[in-house]
Amino acid sequence: MAATNQLNVEERPSWGSRSVECFEKLEQIGEGTYGQVYMAREKRTGEIVALKKIRMDNEKEGFPITAIREIKILKKLQHENVIQLKEIVTSPGRETNEQVQPVADAENNKYKGSIYMVFEYMDHDLTGLADRPGLRFTVPQIKCYMKQLLTGLHYCHVNQVLHRDIKGSNLLIDNEGNLKLADFGLARSFSNDINANLTNRVITLWYRPPELLLGATKYGPAVDMWSVGCIFAELLYGKPILPGKNEPEQLNKIFELCGTPDELIWPGVSKIPWYNKFKPTRPMKKRIRELFRHFDRHALDLLEKMLVLDPAQRISAKDALDSEYFWNDPLPCDPKSLPKYESSHEFQTKKKRQQQRQNEEIAKRQKLQHPQQHARLPPIQQSGQSHQQHWNGPGHQMNNNSQMAMSGAPSHHQYGKPRGPPAGPSRYPPGGAGGGGGGYYQDRGGQSGGYSSAPFPSQGRGPPPYPGNTAPSNGPRGAAGGYGAPPNYSQSGQYNGRGQNPMGGNRNQQYGWQQ
478 binds ligand ATP (CB under 6 A): no
Whole-angstrom distance, CA of residue 258 vs CA of residue 285: 7
Q: Which is nearer to ligand ATP, 402 or 473 (CB)?
A: 473
Q: Closest Cα partner for 244 from 236, 256, 235?
A: 256
From 185, 261, 435, 446, residue interacting with ligand ATP (rule: CB under 6 A): 185
* Residue 52 annotated as part of some ligand binding site: yes
Which x/- pattern over 309-338 shows residues binding ligand ATP (rule: CB under 6 A)?
Answer: ------------------------------
CB of 470 to ligand ATP, least distance (A): 13
CB of 33 to ligand ATP, least distance (A): 3
Question: 46-50: long-range contacts (C-beta < 8 A, 24 or more apart)?
Answer: 48/121, 49/23, 49/86, 49/118, 49/119, 49/120, 49/121, 50/118, 50/119, 50/120, 50/121, 50/122
165: annotated active-site residue:
yes
Q: Write down the catalytic residue from 165, 224, 296, 319.
A: 165
Helix (H), strand (E) at residue 442? none
CA geometry: angle 164, 501, 440, nearest 5 deg:
65
Q: Which residue stretch of 113-121, 187-195, 228-236, 481-489 sits at the interface with ligand ATP (rule: CB under 6 A)? A: 113-121
Q: Which is nearer to ligand ATP, 155 or 391 (CB)?
A: 155
59 binds ligand ATP (CB under 6 A): no
β-strand partners of 500: 506
Which residue number places its CB atom closest to ligand ATP? 32
3-state secondary structure of 256: helix
33 binds ligand ATP (CB under 6 A): yes
Whole-angstrom distance, CA of residue 31 vs CA of residue 137: 26
Q: Which is nearer to ligand ATP, 170 or 488 (CB)?
A: 170
183 binds ligand ATP (CB under 6 A): yes
Whole-angstrom distance, CA of residue 26 vs CA of residue 2: 29
β-strand partners of 124: 173, 344
CB of 195 to ligand ATP, least distance (A): 29
Q: Closest Cα partner for 109 from 42, 143, 61?
A: 61
452: DSSP letter: S
Q: Which residue stretch of 149-157, 339-347, 358-366, 491-499 sits at the interface with ligand ATP (rule: CB under 6 A)? A: 339-347
345 binds ligand ATP (CB under 6 A): yes
CB of 39 to ligand ATP, least distance (A): 7
Q: Which residue stretch of 121-129, 269-277, 302-310, 501-509 sits at the interface with ligand ATP (rule: CB under 6 A)? A: 121-129
Q: Which residues of 376-398 are buried (b: 16+ CB within 10 A; e: fewer)?
A: eeeeeeeebebebebbebbeeeb
Q: Closest Cα partner for 167 from 120, 116, 232?
A: 232
Q: Which is nearer to ligand ATP, 50 or 398 (CB)?
A: 50
From 346, 440, 450, 507, residue interacting with ligand ATP (rule: CB under 6 A): 346
CA dihedral 167, 173, 179, 181 (to 10 degrees): -40
- Residues annotated as part of the active site: 165
Could you tell me which residues are annotated as the binding site for ATP? 52
**Interacting residues with ligand ATP (CB under 6 A):** 29-30, 32-35, 37, 50, 52, 83, 119-122, 125, 169-170, 172, 182-183, 185, 345-347
